[in-house]
Amino acid sequence: MKPEQLVQSAQLLFIVVAAFVVYTFVSVAQDGEARSACTPLCALRPAYAGRDRTAPDFDLPDLAGQKVRLSSFRGKVVVLNFWTKTCRPCLEEMPALADLHELLRQEGAALLTISTDETADDARATLRAVLGKDPPFPVLIDPDAAVVNGKFGTRLYPETWFLDPSGVIRARVDGARDWTNPMVLDVVRMIRRPVGCPIAFDRGKPRGDRRGVCADIVGVADE
């Protein structure tokens, strides 16, 4: 082989090796970023997670009769919880939601709860009995379930939705949770990030090219 051919071959080999090193570095970096962003979401095990659905806007009265509009919270992560006094798991998680409210406030995020009880007095009395005081978080009243069922399709309680600052539904959790778990705040912080977690959830199963991360982290496997 001529000297110039040897030089060309060496240059080509260098390019191939360099490209492989860069590809490996980028892949490892992307995997590490996905693991960091997705660990809290995988641990939460949502029924749904995505970024292609905007929450329907609504306005409902609070316990004082003042109308509250969901879109007025744009710019903040919103945790939206649906409950009713006849739902025992709903009431059991209320103390944890009260703690979460304070943590979210410190994060610049917001907790909104919506009760489908008949009146504000019903909801207030229920929460006083459970919490031993007036609720520290906003409680909106939807006696006909026009928002909870009509707009969000919720029929079983409790159900909790995570909305990003643009009002996009990023996750939905069915059933009660321990809302004092630090992972919940990690999910809120992840949702606030422009990129966030690239894994979607459908019917409780992770979806997407990086869905295997959930199986590696917390044993949540896809079908």
Rounded Cα gap, residues 172 and 174, in angstroms? 7
Query: Which pLDDT score, from 0 to 100, does residue 154 have?
Result: 94
Do 202 and 172 touch, CB atoms closer than 8 A? no
pLDDT tens-digit series, residues 121-145: 999 999 999 999 999 999 999 999 9
Joined together, the tokens standing for residue 69 give 């509009």
Query: Which pLDDT score, from 0 to 100, does residue 213 have?
Result: 78
Provide the residue ranges of all domains of the chain, joining segments of one domain with +.
50-202
Query: Which pLDDT score, from 0 to 100, does residue 25 have?
Result: 36
HSE-CB at 182 with a 13 A cutoff on CA atoms is 1
If one looks up domain 50-202 in CATH, what number appears?
3.40.30.10
Query: What's the whole-number average pLDDT of the chain?
Result: 85
Q: What is the pLDDT along the chain (223 residues), one digit of tens a residue?
A: 555 655 555 556 555 544 443 333 334 334 455 667 788 888 889 999 998 899 999 999 999 999 999 999 999 999 999 999 999 999 999 999 999 999 999 999 999 999 999 999 999 999 999 999 999 999 999 999 999 999 999 999 999 999 999 999 999 999 999 999 999 999 999 998 877 788 899 989 998 877 787 876 655 555 4
Query: Which pLDDT score, from 0 to 100, does residue 22 have?
Result: 39
Rounded Cα gap, residues 133 and 223, in angstroms? 45
Q: Which one-letter DSSP state was computed for residue 65? A: S
Query: Which pLDDT score, from 0 to 100, does residue 39 have?
Result: 86
Distances (CA, A) of 104 to 142, 186, 211: 23, 11, 28
Query: Which pLDDT score, from 0 to 100, does residue 110 have?
Result: 97
